[in-house]
Chain A
């Protein structure tokens, strides 16, 4: 089963890789560093290499252009294995959002599977961020790279987690902009990561501390005595509820790139 999936996955991937020159438009540079993630390494700090990240989550308009170019990602043609029945369910048809098209063109695309998000990024010569990259970039407030110890910062997340989804998601440019110039890392949509299920919570969160490490794909920690960790908890829990062909009404994505060798060399 697993091999089969892997093969299909390769077939599904985009064959076009674009040449990279400098930091492309609408992406920002995130300088590497270290942070302590909630799961996976016994509370040891993890190093994150510098990377370049999309300023905004991918929008409906951008995704429409992608589907136009790669018809196998049309609603009507996509394979169930790669995207469940909810794929692009907020679109009226294969290439049209429908009556709300104008309103939603700059809103994040949602209802896309991990396979679809991955293919999209690859076709732009990019990739999905890892959980660690994403979490590292999401630690920033408006003014600080690491705002994880500021109550007002994690309250922003808590408030968002406990608000029902709005009827129409706002344009990506209107959302919260953080220190790096990344928009909507918090308060807009959940976002796919390449290794979204590597730190499984598997729905039995109370046991994570004691569970067999191998069984659960990562060492658990319930030492989240800090409120701030609860915020990360929510994201890890969300990610681990997913499968790669799932589509969710508030789950979008953005892409990243490695820093081209030249730029790195200059430093």
Chain B
């Protein structure tokens, strides 16, 4: 391919490949075969294409479009993502061993930068990077044969590679073995990535990429599927009691290695590093940057299972948290309902532990609407991980804030809870909680905003909390 770039323009370049040779070799690989031609089904996370039922190889045409788009990185925080297919992670590709893949990379005309793709599933120099180097508004095509089965990462390899990956240019391609994969009930796509923004975690607005932090490997965000909250609340993945669940897990990096763990589950099976070996009964599996793992487990007990990077500060302070909601009948023989999820609570405070954090200067709310607005973001950043998106809590672990009799009965007392933390037994809407809420490090102004938001959401009693009330309540309720 090199020759093409040097063609026709005076340059110091002396390459021996002629253009005719290149065309010939392209024609050869594109020569017609007996194989059926299939247009690949591509999916956005957390979905994966249907398992392959074919018993023979095929020619699979993959068309992947690169776009540069502004999207949500966290509540109130936007970022310019560079994407394979419009979101992060890139589209999931699924082929069968020995398939011949005709790969089209289209770079949207509105892109500012050239991009390419290196698929780790490719045997050949650069994994397709040089063959797919594509200017904005252009399309490139190359062919490869998927020789080795496994779950592979793909990513952009355009200079500076680190920046292209840091902006979200990665995804997964599954090459199913010839014998196929064992059927399961649910399959999902989860990919971790670290992000480097000028502002600290939670600093609002459109955040530019920070090269300095990226070089120092100090991410502001570590997230699953491209943003904080991409896999929680309404976006949680789901299963029914008794289902076998398979997670295709990838890690785009660019820097961090993931200690992938699902709280409350043991992986019955893991294909470590996405390869052919099978490990059984695994608690936490290491997913390298630019690597993957396939994990499988049967869900026996209903409830919420939390997906984390067990390098745990990333989970509670940087966003690496997802959720699997399992519905169905209890199975008391396996889980009595008394096991403490609070094992993670000491580390649970979103803000508390941030070393020398330059907490963004909170905007000053001059009226109730502004308090609501700011409070909403504060809630998402500081409370939602435990009390959930709709304030519904998690029965047995985190009490609800929605229609909470405890909260509505005495707002000052609840302000005290937020300001000082809470330990010991309380009763909320008839349910007993005996757990710990860590002290959340918020300014009085922020407490006023978040409490105003909570009080005016999900059927609570309304009203506005002001600075004065916070100060008084804090003094009154010291725990």
Contact = CB atoms under 8 A, between A and B. Distances in A.
B12 A237 contact: no
A198 B138 CA distance: 20
Contact of B10 (A195, A215, A248): A195
For the complex, would chain A's binding face be called helix, strand, loop or mixed by DSSP majority?
loop
B129 A158 contact: no
A248 B160 contact: no
Interface string B1-17: 11011111111111100
A212 B365 CA distance: 61
A230 B18 CA distance: 32
A159 B212 CA distance: 13
Given A200-B2, A218-B12, A164 B158 contact: no
A238 interface: yes
A262 to B, nearest CB: 29
A233 interface: yes
A227 interface: yes
B13 A217 contact: yes
Contacts of A26: none
A1 B8 contact: yes
B163 A230 contact: yes
A214 B11 CA distance: 11
Interface string B131-171: 11111111000000000000000000111110100010000
B208 A198 contact: no
A249 B136 contact: yes
A250 B107 CA distance: 13
B68 A5 contact: no
B139 to A, nearest CB: 11
Given A233-B160, A248-B135, A203 B116 contact: yes
B110 interface: yes
A134 interface: no
Contacts of A151: 212
A176 to B, nearest CB: 16
A159 B198 CA distance: 10
B160 A244 contact: no
Given A1-B19, A158-B208, A236 B159 contact: yes
Given A162-B167, A249-B136, A202 B113 contact: no
B343 interface: no
Identify which of A2, A227, A241, A248 gathers the most chain B CB atoms within 10 Å of its CB: A241
A89 to B, nearest CB: 8
Contact of A204 (B70, B112, B126, B215): B126
Identify which of A164, A238, A246 gathers the most chain B CB atoms within 10 Å of its CB: A164
Interface residues of A, number: 56
Contacts of B8: 1-2, 5-6, 9, 244
B126 A195 contact: no
Given A246-B138, A248-B135, A203 B158 contact: yes
A198 B133 CA distance: 16
Contact of B9 (A190, A197, A230): A197
Contacts of B7: 1-2, 5, 243
Interface of B: 1-2, 4-15, 18-20, 68-70, 80, 109-110, 112-114, 116, 125-126, 129-138, 157-161, 163, 167, 208-209, 211-212, 215
12 contacts: A86-B137, A162-B80, A164-B68, A197-B9, A198-B11, A202-B133, A204-B130, A208-B159, A217-B11, A227-B211, A230-B163, A251-B136
Given A159-B208, A195-B10, A237-B114, 15 more contacts: A1-B7, A2-B8, A151-B212, A162-B167, A165-B110, A165-B112, A202-B5, A203-B130, A203-B132, A214-B13, A217-B12, A217-B14, A233-B159, A240-B5, A251-B136
